[in-house]
Amino acid sequence: MDGLNLSVTSPAWQQFVEKRQVDPATVSEIVLDSWRRCADYNVDPYHLNNEILGQRALRERLRENKQLLEIANPIINKLYVLLKESGYTVFLADNQGYILVSQGDPGFTAKAQKILLSVGANWHESVRGTNAIGTTLALKQPVHINSWEHYCRENHLIDCSAAPIWGPNGELLGVLDVTGDYQHAHPHTLALVVSAVSLIQHRLALSDSNRKLVIADLYTDTIMESSGEGYVCIDGSDKITRVNRRFAQTFGLLPEQCMGQPLASVLNEDGSAWTELLDGPGRLERLFRQASLRHGFTYSIRSIWGKKQHWLGAVASIKNVKQPRQQTPAIANATHYTFADIIGRSHRLQNAKRLAELASRIDSTVLLQGETGTGKEMFAQSIHHASNRREGPFVAVNCGSLPKTLIESELFGYEEGSFTGARRGGRQGKFELANGGTIFLDEIGDMPLDIQASLLRVLEEHKVVRVGGQRPVSVDIRIIAATNKNLAEEAARGNFRPDLFYRLNVLSIDIPSLHDREDDIMELAEYFMKTISHRLGKVVNQISYGVKVLFQSYNWPGNVRELENIIERAISFCEGTSITVEDLPEYLKQKQPVADSNSIPDLNLRQLEEQAISEALNKFDYNISKVANALGIGRNTLYRKMKEYDIKGARQA
């Protein structure tokens, strides 16, 4: 194919492109039908349509076809090895005719580029006329197009064989094509392409099956962990193949400690005496019957049978389990916040909420960072409530409020007689009480260094040793820590253990301050107004314009907690149905509002009030009744304020 030798043609092609007539006996039905489609598309047989993707569009196409490329590329490489030095090039096109991959001999590849047979080019019939890629897409079947059978004259020097690639669900994914010089056409090329496509489709189906198995596995895990019952799956040799946390916890174990173990050993029952006397289901029935008497649960078993009634294993569930420890009701019922309770639409809050929701789906340690009053415990409880530990306890510990002399015994518990005043029989610590659930360590930056070492050991070993004790107690807990300090800086200063910081900082979430959530201030204020007024039995359903201006200007050093307290105070002292500036605490009324960098100099409260009245008068066209109602003050008060600020009452109503 030296240059573009356009002498390669045929009378049949010439007759069709000039007169739209041809003897059907001289052209195959597939080619003739394609020529007719090309004529309907108004494809110019003498001048190629050079449609080619830009770099950004090409990258997007490659991204959209990532799975197809990952499966097809190794097979394309093997196919090229078979065709190497034969003058052929292998192409992979997507389901719209855009070439995504080109693998071939450099000599032919360079010549092919002259007719835009290259990556990024579109070889759909409507663009490039009759060709193996485009015609395969049109017919959805393998196609061989040689020389003058191509509709466009510049393509008469190539020979193409292509076959469609079908996805596991019957969708057309693309086309595999082998193209070379028309003089080297070989009758077996198409069969080679079809064979390669078959292998691609087989691997696509295998990949899809694996993906579905993974998803099914995740669904199964989620269903098992979401249930309030204990579940265990056993194979034909009584070995545990799957188990949920509730089942393992019943016997004082972690799920990973149960996997692969004989069921009898986990149930603490001796099954050897009668193993040979009973079949699989009967053996399981007796095992569970014995264990239920000892541990106080009810059970159900469903056997799994293969062909010819071959027993493959079983799935068993247990319920009404006696808890392996005494659980304090107050702790068990401590959690009540969910993600729906986190109010606000600002970007920073929504991003923190999104990260927290993602964290709730896995069991890794979470570190919540934010100023005091930003709602870190609300986030912690929401994560717990959405996790697979929601049925377990949520235990909150404020590390900053516990006396240094008591924090170790509070966290890890103590044995009888370990110190003067120790309770008879000892006492469980917070970690043991949180077994099977979540422990929330608030203000962890204030934890003493020696206790930090003990906490690190719990994180690494999942075991605690009580004060005055020797025996380690296994605990299955998820730790959520929170701090208003920069732990990285504290670690650098020697105030916090670096190794503990790195173990805690697995999933780090920054909770934004209220002054960084300007869009949320009034939404939160109105939410608190509704809930608090209902709780206090008062009808307060409005926030005056002056209060809104002040709220938006204030810096909120106490964050959401300060806003909630101010709203509760205002409702308590409010004599009408609207919260006014007079209902706010004195320190807030005297605060200078914080102006942004593009605003005029800061305004004091008198100026704000004067501005609020003037704006309301203009807004309501000096209708005194409407202005007073909007500002949440009486008409007489409004007249007095207007006189005080020398605001003219034009068009007063």
pLDDT tens-digit series, residues 7-51: 567 899 999 998 888 888 899 999 999 999 999 999 999 988 878
Average pLDDT over residues 257-282: 66
Same domain for 405 and 257: no
Q: Which domain holds residue 64?
A: 11-207
458 alpha carbon, distance to own chain's centre: 29
Question: Greatest CA span in the chain, whole angstroms?
Answer: 112
What confidence score (pLDDT) does residue 352 get?
A: 93
- Amino acid occupying residue 305: W
Percent of residues, the chain, with pLDDT higher than 90: 34
Q: Supply the CATH number for residue 232's domain.
A: 3.30.450.20
Is the pLDDT confidence value at 542 over 70? yes
Closest CA to 439 of 430, 447, 448: 430
**What is the number of residues in the chain?**
653
Average pLDDT over residues 359-382: 91
Closest CA to 487 of 542, 548, 446, 534: 446
Same domain for 170 and 86: yes
CB 136 within 8 A of CB 142: yes
What are the b/e assignments for 329-356, b being 16+ CB within 10 Å? eebbebbebebeebebebebbeebbebb
- Which of 491, 506, 521 is the last residue in one of the domains? 506
Under the banding of pLDDT at 50, 70 and 90, the label for residue 546 is confident
Same domain for 363 and 247: no
Is the pLDDT confidence value at 626 over 60? yes
Tokens standing for 652?
């007063």
**CA angle, 582 as apex, 580 and 588 as ends, to 5°?**
100
Same domain for 336 and 460: yes
Tokens standing for 152?
């466009």
**Residues 6+ away with beta carbon under 8 Å from 633:** 544, 580, 641
The answer to whether residue 246 is domain-embedded is: yes
Q: How many Å apart are CA 376 and CA 113, to the nearest integer? A: 61
Is the pLDDT confidence value at 193 over 90? yes
Average pLDDT over residues 127-133: 95
Torsion (CA) 565, 567, 569, 575 in degrees, nearest 10? -170
Average pLDDT over residues 313-339: 61
Average pLDDT over residues 204-213: 87
Pairwise pLDDT comparison (199 vs 400), residue with the higher score: 199
The answer to whether residue 4 is domain-embedded is: no
Residue with tokens 């028309």: 182
Pairwise pLDDT comparison (627 vs 421), residue with the higher score: 627
Assign 301 to helix, strand or coil. Answer: strand
Same domain for 171 and 23: yes
Tokens standing for 235?
């194979």
Q: Supply the CATH number for residue 162's domain.
A: 3.30.450.40
Residue 143: phi and psi, rounded to 5, are -140, 140
Is the pLDDT confidence value at 649 over 90? no
The answer to whether residue 550 is domain-embedded is: no
CA torsion sign, 327 to 333 to 337 to 339? positive
Q: How many Å apart are CA 132 and CA 103, to the nearest integer? A: 17
Same domain for 231 and 167: no
The answer to whether residue 600 is domain-embedded is: no
Average pLDDT over residues 447-475: 85
What confidence score (pLDDT) does residue 509 get?
A: 94
Same domain for 140 and 92: yes
Same domain for 158 and 18: yes
Same domain for 238 and 151: no
What confidence score (pLDDT) does residue 61 get?
A: 93
Residue with tokens 């949440």: 632
The answer to whether residue 214 is domain-embedded is: no
pLDDT digits (tens, 9 = 90+) for 440-454: 999 998 888 888 888
Is the pLDDT confidence value at 203 over 60? yes
Tokens standing for 204?
């696509």
Is the pLDDT confidence value at 304 over 90? no
Q: How many Å apart are CA 253 and CA 270, to the nearest integer? A: 18
Tokens standing for 35?
């020529």
Is the pLDDT confidence value at 254 over 70? yes
Q: How many Å apart are CA 631 and CA 645, to the nearest integer? A: 16
The answer to whether residue 72 is domain-embedded is: yes
Is the pLDDT confidence value at 332 over 50? no
Q: How many Å apart are CA 279 and CA 517, to the nearest integer? A: 66
What confidence score (pLDDT) does residue 303 get?
A: 83
What confidence score (pLDDT) does residue 141 get?
A: 95
Average pLDDT over residues 239-252: 86
The answer to whether residue 557 is domain-embedded is: no
Q: Which helix (H) or strand (E) holds 32?
A: helix 29-40
Same domain for 252 and 190: no
Average pLDDT over residues 147-168: 93
- Which of 438, 472, 506 is the last residue in one of the domains? 506
The answer to whether residue 596 is domain-embedded is: no
CB 345 within 8 A of CB 522: no
What confidence score (pLDDT) does residue 592 get?
A: 41
Same domain for 334 and 281: no
What confidence score (pLDDT) does residue 179 get?
A: 92
Under the banding of pLDDT at 50, 70 and 90, the label for residue 246 is confident
Closest CA to 564 of 601, 532, 606: 532
Tokens standing for 343?
């109010």
What confidence score (pLDDT) does residue 309 get?
A: 73
Q: How many Å apart are CA 166 and CA 140, to the nearest integer? A: 9
- Which of 319, 339, 367 is the last residue in one of the domains? 319
Q: Look at 209-223, 323-337, 422-436 and tell me which has the smallest mean pLDDT.
A: 323-337
Q: Supply the CATH number for residue 378's domain.
A: 3.40.50.300
Is the pLDDT confidence value at 201 over 90? yes
Average pLDDT over residues 180-206: 89
Closest CA to 151 of 48, 41, 51, 45: 45
Same domain for 338 and 310: no
What confidence score (pLDDT) does residue 320 get?
A: 59
Is the pLDDT confidence value at 293 over 80? no
Pairwise pLDDT comparison (604 vs 88), residue with the higher score: 88
Question: Domain count of the chain?
Answer: 3
Under the banding of pLDDT at 50, 70 and 90, the label for residue 356 is very high
Mean pLDDT of the chain: 83
Q: Look at 61-75, 299-313, 343-357, 573-587 and tell me which has the smallest mean pLDDT.
A: 299-313
pTM of the model: 0.45
